[in-house]
Amino acid sequence: MKYCPKCASELISRAEGGRDRLACSACDYVYFGDFSIGVGGVVIRDGKALLIRRGQEPRRGWWQIPGGYCEHDESIHEAVAREVLEEAGIHARVENVLGLRHSLGAPSANVYVIFRLTPLAGDPRADGEEITGAGFFSLDEIASMDKVQSLSKWAINAALSRSDGFVHVGEPGDLARPGYTLFGLPPD
Residue 183 lies in a domain: no
Q: For the whole model, what pTM was predicted?
A: 0.85
Q: Please check whether residues 134 and 154 belong to one and the same domain.
A: yes
Alpha helices in the chain (DSSP H): 76-88, 139-144, 150-161
Average pLDDT, the chain: 90
Domain of 55: which CATH number?
3.90.79.10
Residue 188 lies in a domain: no
- The domain tally of the chain equals 2
pLDDT digits (tens, 9 = 90+) for 72-114: 889 999 999 999 999 999 999 999 999 999 888 767 789 999 9
pLDDT digits (tens, 9 = 90+) for 34-56: 889 999 999 999 999 999 999 99
pLDDT digits (tens, 9 = 90+) for 158-181: 999 987 777 766 655 555 566 667
Comparing 67 with 181, which gets the higher pLDDT?
67
Q: What's the half-sphere exposure (Cβ side, CA atoms, 13 Å) at 58?
A: 2
Residue 182 lies in a domain: no
